[in-house]
A and B are shown apart, each in its own frame.
Chain A
């Protein structure tokens, strides 16, 4: 876990600082930056950054739903497996 001391002051950091540290903000905790209490003031004062966070969270949330399988292999795959299992 990255320590708070590794980051700039949360309330007074610039959007550029925020962008630099955003991968770490996402990697810490539950991955939801928008609910991180340390960042509430900054996000309220920087709506474009808040919008970026919302978009990236929406992408990550939808990505989890892609875990459910979508595609199916052709029947030839199982036929080949069966042949090779018998060798």
Chain B
């Protein structure tokens, strides 16, 4: 069954996209076999992509149970729709787009109106980033710790987190995000900027963050 609003078509391949999502050894063969109903090949695709899809869901939703449900839904949709993958973009890009659209539909079903980000999921005044440049002695040291950033992202207000994850982590362009979130390109740029400012605020306060629990369980990699 088709899910209304779920964009399954491939967008025009963007130069550089394969640099971020390089083909994985054995993936192309597994895709072709899975298109012909080979369950073992589909199992291989799941093994190759489960962590990226789950991590994406978890970052967007901030909830382990919902993230697992959406991971399951994403792969079931993949199972039904893999025949429509034509290889015009990297497979993982296509799969991530499918996943993002499913998560956004899930959020809309829950009543989260994503049409007007600024009006609906903009944070309260106390969550908003500070508007000052900050004194130079408080600046970050030019490097950002991955674990600290992961925690800070998890603590962002949902609207900020969504745009930050889609743009800065997943690499989607503002026009793509605007289409997915049904907002303007300017809104996407503005939300991203506010998200980065908020992260800067959070990262300059190391003590509370290091003791904060995010609810995200990291695997040993």
Residue total for A at the interface (Cβ-Cβ under 8 A): 38
A residues in contact with B144, CB < 8 Å? 58-59, 61-62
Q: Is the interface of A mostly helix, strand, loop or mixed?
A: helix
Chain B stretch 116-140: residues in CB contact (< 8 A) with chain A? 131, 133-136, 139-140
Residue total for B at the interface (Cβ-Cβ under 8 A): 54
**B196 and A60 form a contact (CB under 8 A):** yes
Of the candidates B20, B50, B131, B192, which one forms a contact with A67 in the assembled complex, judged by CB atoms under 8 Å apart? Answer: B20
Complex CA gap A23/B163 in Å reads 13
**B133 and A49 form a contact (CB under 8 A):** yes
A27 at the interface (CB under 8 A from B): yes
Task: Using CB atoms and an 8 Å cutoff, list the residues of chain B in contact with chain A.
Answer: 20, 39, 42-43, 46, 50-52, 54-55, 58-59, 67-68, 71-72, 75-76, 79, 131, 133-136, 139-140, 142-146, 149-150, 153, 164, 168-171, 174, 189-190, 192-193, 196-197, 199-200, 203, 216-219, 221
**B189 and A66 form a contact (CB under 8 A):** no
B residues in contact with A77, CB < 8 Å? 50, 54, 68, 71-72
A residues in contact with B58, CB < 8 Å? 71
